[in-house]
Structure 1
Amino acid sequence: MESNSKNTKRKASSPIVTAQNEYGKLPPQAIELEEDVLGAMMLEKDAYYSVSEILLPDCFYKDANKKIYKAIIDLALKEEPIDMHTVTEQLRKNGVLDEVGGAYYITLLTAKVASAAHIEFHSRIIAQKYLARELIRVSSEILSKAFDDRTDVADLMQEAEGMLFEVSQRNVKKDVQQINPIIEEAVKRIQEASKRPEGLSGIPSGFHSLDKITSGWQRSDLIIIAARPAMGKTAFVISMARNMAIDYNVPVALFSLEMSNVQLVNRLLMNVCEIEGDKIKNGQLAPFEWLQLDYKLKKLYDAPIYLDDTPSLSVFELRTKARRLVKEHHIKMLIIDYLQLMNASGMTFGSREQEVSTISRSLKGLAKELDIPIIALSQLNRSLEGRLGREGKRPQLSDLRESGAIEQDADMVCFIHRPEYYKVTDDGQGNSLIGLAEIIVAKHRNGATGDILLRFKGQFAKFTNRDDDDDSTYQGYVSKINEDNASLAANNSLNVDYDAYPPPPPPNHDVPF
């Protein structure tokens, strides 16, 4: 009877025990391995250097072990020997020897380890336990805030993404590679470039003079294109996206934090169809312009251009979306308009400059991770507006707004400068600058710097090569359109036989249709 009574009591209490086990879990830890690794570092001369890139002090779960590892780091920084005696002395200097268990505990650590043969393997396990604890901490914070009715869910999602991004970055490590496979990859890219008629190793922008300097936009590069307002930053990247997608069939993703998708497409329509922006907005097109729109619109259909107009996009959202675009649509180029409108939600900063630094550093990391070029537009500060003289208005690297880290992180920095905007109509040698824009390559980590001139058609928000315009041919097509316009007006109809219109004579020549 006593036995049955005891069994009954055990059965009755078992749900309580299960509940306690379910919620009474210990954080992921490997204290024995922590002790083995610390002992091994004090046993063998160079053991610390084989794990220094794997372990941080916070990776150790036991507080005493964390303090011992900090003491070992202090010794390594001073290039002093790391052994039982030096570590004990360093702990004494740090004032924490008694807190870790005294010299006796240090002795125990070295006594239980035979060699440092498996120190790297053990260290990786410790690092994995630490990441697991960090994920639990982040999840707990998110869970707690999600139950709070006062929390804005959109803000919480941004914060959660930021915290997870921080954890993931701690685990991003690239192993050292022997040079042979890297040489093979470099030669392969050279061979690919040699097969192209234009001889470019990167993605062509469609602007020939610029491509000569850059050899095309290179994979894993972060390119900053900066200018003061009204210089045509957005027009420049839209013209470039149009060239890449339509002329070279290169998939491009454009993230616009300033304009909606419809506004961006309107800009593209202006650019491709060469119809003024006001007419695109109000729909007051002449009959021949409707014809232009209908005919040239065909170029944009099925073009590999992907648009995203998420406002106040965070660098973490961008990372997620970019990965998906590369995987699903094989995107080869990412364009962001513009950098200062991005944020790094979920992370705390002392100033906006620190946040912009984090954003630019993250963009460079993303370019390397995805192995594609990323172009980010950037505003310039107002300092150049106060400078006098012909050359005073030309942008300089020091004019980059809010952060010197933008210049540091970028592989290339280009400025857009339109002298005509500042009432400068010639270059001082009698050459006209009317209708021209300077693209100033101010920084080029892997190549030359220099200035080039492009033609800027402000009414169409369009940049073109200087040699793309042939006025006599262009005027001939305009005359032909005007004749057809008169005929259309007389018939009051837009039913036109498109086959009656031959293609433009010169290659790469933009005419009204």
Structure 2
Amino acid sequence: MNEPLDRPGFRPNVVPIEEYRGDYGRTPTAPAAIAAPIATVESEAGLIGCIMQAPHVFPLVQHLVAAEHFFEEAHRAIWQVMGDLVAAGDTPNGIKVKAALGATNLAFDLGGQNVLSYLGRLVVMACTPISAPEYARTIQQYWQLRELAAVTNKAADGSGFVPGPHLERVYARVDQIRASFVDRKVMSVTADQAGDELIADITADLQGHGRVVPHTRVAAFDKEIGGGPQPSTLITVAARTAMGKSIFGVEQASAIGRQGHVAIYHSLEMTRKQIQARRTSSWLFDRGTRLAYEQIMRRRGLSQSEADHVAEAVYEMRGEHFHIEDGGGRTIGDIAAASDRLANSYARKGVPLGMVVIDHAHIVRPSRAYNREDEGLKEVADGALSLAKHLDVPVLLLAQCNRNTEGKSVEDRRPSLADIRGAGAFEENSDAVAFLYRPAYYIERSGKYREQNPEALAEHAGCRHLLEIIIDKNRIGRANHIVRAWIDPALNAIRNLQSGA
């Protein structure tokens, strides 16, 4: 590729990098007013150098950072060239980048050095490939800080404004900036490159050093969704009230947290104490102690020995990576921003993110007023899928079914896609959609059961611990399939059917 790409070259107002902060040993010459920008030029330079030195890293960071996120205009131009090369099916190494820029741009003066010599310096100071995603996130986060500073500056620059409307504009822009954490940018690769990645993953798996996919508490469910919750996928699990949505979410997240990964549980209804009581009850059940979580939560509900069991369980669970985000009234942008922050925090400790759980979709607050409820739910579904792609982990989105199931025949009140409020958005965005159904729930509420009818009692005894996980949509495996598991709602326990007690 000898001709420059069809894109703008370096403009005359590109300021020499050294004039910002005197980077790389030079004395700063810029005015004090711009001597300390909200930027990390070193991260920008290190990332670009890394890509030129190790171009195979570009697909790992392409979805995290775009040209507009770079502070230094020269870096923006170079990053744009790299993106153009990849989009054209080429490799963004140093030689190709120089050829794509062309002689005129390579000779552009950056203040005592031209672009050609500067590219050489970037390669020398390149970051290691393993650090590239962290560099990319840092660049994006600094961009967001600059955008936040810009949107709030009007309140401090002395110019007039009307507070109410101005606040609305500020909050709207803040939501946009936060949402940029999860914007799904297109990763452009050829079919050959995608094939190479597929073979590499299969080979690594066969050799025993592929990416570890944590499992849930239900082996049959894992089998149907590819061996466990897959990275970058959105799994929607829906049910009517009391069918076990929160039980399912807490159990699956707890299982992930016990396998060396961190699970982030966004609870918009339950308090952190309620979640921990549920986890404790399930943990004790595995060790032979039946203690309902509502009893743990009840004031003066425990004897001294039972309280000792709870204390032991809480102590033993301290090493598990289970992070609770407790609080309602949050937007999907709030949830995404918190997840990204926590994922980076745990990554610095060497703990990979394993799953994000959102409990539940229908009480996530829309970022603005919509004319119809389904428009707000589409925002939630879109954001949850983008979050899965952005963090490259499974997102488990719990959802509420409407009351249509109550009007179905007694023989079959199993829910389907049409029973989810805002069904279209969840069906469109989810890689898998599953429904939870407990036949015992409806038997317990029948007149015959309440009258102690022998047939009703026998029927209830036969299914009191049965949980059906109805997989309606499944991009990875079989759809229209039912997985059966063992459940005890009082203990917040879900197990493989054959291992329940």
Please point out which of 462, 477, 482 is paired with 1:451.
482
2:418 maps to 1:383: no
Q: Distance in 2 between matches of 1:166 and 1:245?
A: 26
2:299 maps to 1:279: no
Please point out which of 409, 421, 437 is paired with 1:417.
437
- 1:300 is paired with a residue of what secondary structure? helix
- 1:323 is paired with a residue of what secondary structure? helix
Q: Distance in 2 between matches of 1:319 and 1:300?
A: 26
Name the residue aligned to 1:335: 357
Name the residue aligned to 1:289: 306
Q: Distance in 2 between matches of 1:142 and 1:399?
A: 47
Q: Distance in 2 between matches of 1:349 and 1:287?
A: 52
Q: Distance in 2 between matches of 1:169 and 1:193?
A: 28
Mapped contact 2:148–2:174 kept (Cα < 8 A): no
Scaled by the length of structure 2, the TM-score of the pair is 0.59
Name the residue aligned to 1:396: 416
Name the residue aligned to 1:82: none
In structure 2, the CA distance between the partners of 1:381 and 1:192, relative to structure 1 (3 Å rule), is farther
Q: Distance in 2 between matches of 1:451 and 1:435?
A: 16
In structure 2, the CA distance between the partners of 1:163 and 1:273, relative to structure 1 (3 Å rule), is same
CA deviation vs aligned residue, 1:290-342 (integer Å, no higher than 9, x gap) = 34323333331121111101311111112211111222213221000001111
CA deviation vs aligned residue, 1:399-447 (integer Å, no higher than 9, x gap) = 0113411111111001110001111899x99993221111111110121
Distance apart, 1:148 and its partner CA: 4.8
In structure 2, the CA distance between the partners of 1:340 and 1:302, relative to structure 1 (3 Å rule), is same
- 1:202 is paired with a residue of what secondary structure? coil
In structure 2, the CA distance between the partners of 1:456 and 1:173, relative to structure 1 (3 Å rule), is closer
Pick the structure with greater CA Rg: 1
- 2:302 is paired with a residue of what secondary structure? coil
Please point out which of 211, 215, 228 is paired with 1:204.
215
Distance apart, 1:462 and its partner CA: 1.5
User: What does 1:156-235 align with in structure 2 at a 5 Å threshold?
Assistant: 158-164=171-177, 173-194=185-206, 202-214=213-225, 215-235=227-247
Q: Distance in 2 between matches of 1:315 and 1:263?
A: 23
Please point out which of 250, 258, 261 is paired with 2:272.
261
Name the residue aligned to 1:460: 491
In structure 2, the CA distance between the partners of 1:136 and 1:232, relative to structure 1 (3 Å rule), is closer
Name the residue aligned to 1:490: none
2:373 maps to 1:344: no
Higher mean Cα deviation, 461-470 or 334-343?
Answer: 461-470
Distance apart, 1:192 and its partner CA: 4.7
Name the residue aligned to 2:374: 353
Give the share of equivalent positions with the same residue, in percent.
21
Q: Distance in 1 between matches of 2:160 and 2:478?
A: 52
Distance apart, 1:348 and its partner CA: 4.9
Distance apart, 1:165 and its partner CA: 5.2
2:338 maps to 1:318: no
Name the residue aligned to 1:50: none
CA deviation vs aligned residue, 1:454-480 (integer Å, no higher than 9, x gap) = 11112212111122245xxxxxxxxxx
- 2:462 is paired with a residue of what secondary structure? coil
Give the aligned residue type for 1:227: A
Please point out which of 292, 298, 311 is paired with 2:315.
298
CA deviation vs aligned residue, 1:349-399 (integer Å, no higher than 9, x gap) = 3222111112201211121121111001000011111111312x1010110
User: What does 1:472-483 align with in structure 2 at a 5 Å threshold?
Assistant: none
Name the residue aligned to 1:440: 470
Give the aligned residue type for 1:257: L
Q: Distance in 2 between matches of 1:394 and 1:264?
A: 27
Please point out which of 303, 320, 324 is paired with 1:307.
324
Distance apart, 1:268 and its partner CA: 1.4
Once superposed, what is the RMSD of the aligned Cα atoms?
A: 4.0
Q: Distance in 2 between matches of 1:166 and 1:203?
A: 27
Q: Distance in 2 between matches of 1:160 and 1:228?
A: 36
In structure 1, list runs of 5 or more residues that go unmatched.
1-53, 55-116, 122-130, 471-513
- State how many pairs are aligned: 339
Distance apart, 1:240 and its partner CA: 1.4
In structure 2, list runs of 5 or more residues that go unmatched.
1-65, 67-100, 106-142, 286-290, 347-351, 445-454
Distance apart, 1:182 and its partner CA: 2.7
In structure 2, the CA distance between the partners of 1:429 and 1:335, relative to structure 1 (3 Å rule), is same
Distance apart, 1:175 and its partner CA: 4.8
Distance apart, 1:159 and its partner CA: 2.7
CA deviation vs aligned residue, 1:244-268 (integer Å, no higher than 9, x gap) = 212x222100000011212211221
In structure 2, the CA distance between the partners of 1:157 and 1:137, relative to structure 1 (3 Å rule), is closer
In structure 2, the CA distance between the partners of 1:239 and 1:142, relative to structure 1 (3 Å rule), is farther
Please point out which of 355, 367, 386 is paired with 1:365.
386
Mapped contact 1:201–1:216 kept (Cα < 8 A): no
Name the residue aligned to 2:263: 252
CA deviation vs aligned residue, 1:80-120 (integer Å, no higher than 9, x gap) = xxxxxxxxxxxxxxxxxxxxxxxxxxxxxxxxxxxxx99xx
Mapped contact 1:400–1:407 kept (Cα < 8 A): no
Mapped contact 1:192–1:201 kept (Cα < 8 A): no
Higher mean Cα deviation, 290-299 or 428-437?
Answer: 428-437
Q: Distance in 2 between matches of 1:463 and 1:216?
A: 16
Mapped contact 1:335–1:374 kept (Cα < 8 A): yes
Give the aligned residue type for 1:405: A
- 2:318 is paired with a residue of what secondary structure? coil
- 1:249 is paired with a residue of what secondary structure? coil
Mapped contact 1:326–1:332 kept (Cα < 8 A): no
Q: Distance in 2 between matches of 1:194 and 1:431?
A: 45
Distance apart, 1:140 and its partner CA: 7.5
Higher mean Cα deviation, 139-148 or 317-326?
Answer: 139-148
User: What does 1:17-96 align with in structure 2 at a 5 Å threshold?
Assistant: none
Q: Distance in 1 between matches of 2:255 and 2:301?
A: 27
Q: Distance in 2 between matches of 1:411 and 1:142?
A: 43
Give the aligned residue type for 1:415: F
Give the aligned residue type for 2:362: Q
Name the residue aligned to 2:447: none
CA deviation vs aligned residue, 1:112-164 (integer Å, no higher than 9, x gap) = xxxxx99xx9xxxxxxxxx99xx7998389749996555797x7764332233
